Structure 1
Amino acid sequence: MSPAAPGRADAAPAPPSPGSGPAAPGPVTPSQGSASSVAATTSVSPTAAGLWRGGRGMLLVALVVVVGAVAGVLLGGSGQGGRLLDPADASLSGGRGLARLLQAQGVRVLPVTSVAEAAAQAGRAGPAGSTLLVTSAFPLTAGDAGRLAAVPGDLLLAGVGRHLRLLAPDVTLVREARVRSREPGCGLPAATRAGSAHVGGMTYVAPAGAVGCYPSGGRPTLVSRSTGGRTVTVTGDDAFMTNLRLAEDGNAALAMNLAGARPTLIWLTVPETGPPADGPAGFYDLVPEGVSWAVVQLFLAVLLLALWRGRRLGPVVTERLPVVVRAAETVEGRARLYRARRARDRAAAALREGFTDRVTPRLGLPSGAGADALVNAIAERTGQAAPHIGAALYGPPPADEAGLVALAAYMDFVERQVGKS
């Protein structure tokens, strides 16, 4: 058997039978096609699928540009330069509305921008004459929290989740809570007079002697505790005090009851960022903030357009083969390649794989049968020694061409024996 024998393992197509016509197809004339196929190939009318394929790229680019523009508007804010809960800010996130309501009720509102200034103002007002309001916007440090804990007067922590062990030692933060309209569910006068409020943010564990209001999942989102003539109140968020949320439910009443309990409200706010002290503004400082978003959107649009126009592969086109190569020629060509490269291991592997694929169903074994099952079944069917069959199927590759030919001959013999039995 020649080295071309390994081709028996390849799934090469069978050669055409003598009655199946010529091997290579001849030219096809227009008269051989049907009228419907001719009409289909000559139609130039646009279809819905064609219009969609041609315009979906531009639609995608337009969608990305629109989404980027909307994101830029949302992330850019209201454009009023407002700061969160600043008593002088009239934007949606500011606290000017609450400050005006408190002033109309006779409460003195003192905005401060530092912990030292807040402590000084609280000392002038006395232990029972002021309320210190700290919101989530102020960047508290551990040192600031320790100083604020010693400031005389009431303390209102609105949305402050940092350093509670210093500011409110017995109040423990549990988890986040969705901001929505909630009922007081407590006996705190400031909450019962306000009624339902749009609050949430965080829930707490109220210590003994404290009052917990506006519960979420059984835990309060507002905790108030009075000890030693001082009241410390903690709320889960501070959005109900902003100009945007002040008119919802009883938010205004709750904010005024909490912040206006004393004649003086010391409002700790974030200091304004002034212009750079050293030299005039640079070129990039003069560029508007929206320009950076416009550049990002333009870059994304160009990138998507390049990807869309660059990937123009078109539909798959099927063509007739110019010639038909017989299976025997394919097998012989591959065998010569194996022989030229001395790839006896690949040839042996191809022989064994083809033998296994053909013999396994004849033996009634499943395709995933193991080596032992296959060897035992062949030995039982043919009477050959199991070690010989195992060495032929799973042994090392032949050392030379003679060994490869012998392997092919033995496997051919075994296969015939399986077919006869």
Structure 2
Amino acid sequence: MTLQTTERSYSVSPTARSIWKRGRAIVLVAAIVVVAAVVPVLLPSGSTGGGSALDPGDSSLAGSKALAQVLGAHGVSVQRVDDVATALAGLGTDGQILITEATDLTASEAGRIAAAPADRLIVGQVPYLDVLAPGLISEVGGTSSRSRPPSCGLREANAAGSAYMGGTSFTGPPGSTGCYPSDGKPTLVRYTAGGRTVTVVGDGQFMTNLRLAEDGNAALAVNLAGTKSRLIWLVPPAEPDQISQSSGPDGSDGSDGAGSEPKSLGELIPSGVGWAVVELVFALGVVALWRGRRLGPVVAERLPVVVRAAETVEGRGRLYRARRARDRAALALRAATIDRITPRLGLPRTATPDEIVTAVSARTGEDPEQVRPALFGGAPADDAGLVALAGYLDTLERQVQDS
């Protein structure tokens, strides 16, 4: 193969050192952009549900919205209220009131709840426990919360199995049932006082969105909170800057696990994402201006080597011959011939083989039975057949051009 070389041969490919010198500034700017976009998203922006710990309307890890939805799916009406008067008005005869450690009660409010004709579920370190659960004694000092077996005869606990329990342990009054013991003292106690069922749990983490899916936490929470068809969930009053909860069926602020309206996509996106997008667009614009001003006119470069087209064809032919790829060679010859004669025959690019064979036969006078295998036949059996095919295709093309 004869090569025509220029006076000077040089490499135009960039080296790794040059690429790094040109790109390190871009990498630095990209890192700054990523940090500026990610940090606002990762920073806490408040509760996503507008509530507090163990709040049925709060979808954060400390909230209990998942439990409220599970209870709603089991037919329990969950009503979220933030004042004692509304809670007592909605109890009725088929209700149970849930009081958590986040509830802010006064002594008089605790007395009114204790006098109400409804079952009580008390979770965590609730104030005025001696009024809400008379006869129950809280042990001094807390106990660590972890997965514990029920180790008791309470049906609801045995059905759930192990649960994440701990916090405060108790000494129950005579006739009470204690479960999930820590150092011999139960962390869950249930008994009857004044004709009403009182259930006290030392730690409410098993009811949160974070822990609900672990062990038997969900089953235990549903078994304890779903004993009645209506659950009045007492939460602390909302702060002015918190998001108000959706109105319940009776007009009070509530969160029914089965009937709460789903949030839109915009409400689910954290507030910091908008500013992150703005910063990202601004940074990309700065980078575009910075790099764009350095672009100049296109520079024409002389090729270091010039290779004649005939030599390229010969080289490809030798490769086909070395691999005995007569099928590919024949296919290339036929495809090139068809591409060149189809416009001269007045046929579109989408013409079918039958249309092409008919048009070639009519133009050249060749037998269609010879034209068809030449243009659309199989691979030649040997090199001599490939040479004969190339000659016949050349003859057909000349006849079409000259006719």
- TM-score, normalised to structure 1's length? 0.46
| TM-score calculated relative to the size of structure 2 | 0.48
Q: Which has the higher contact order (CA 8 A, sep 6+)?
A: 1
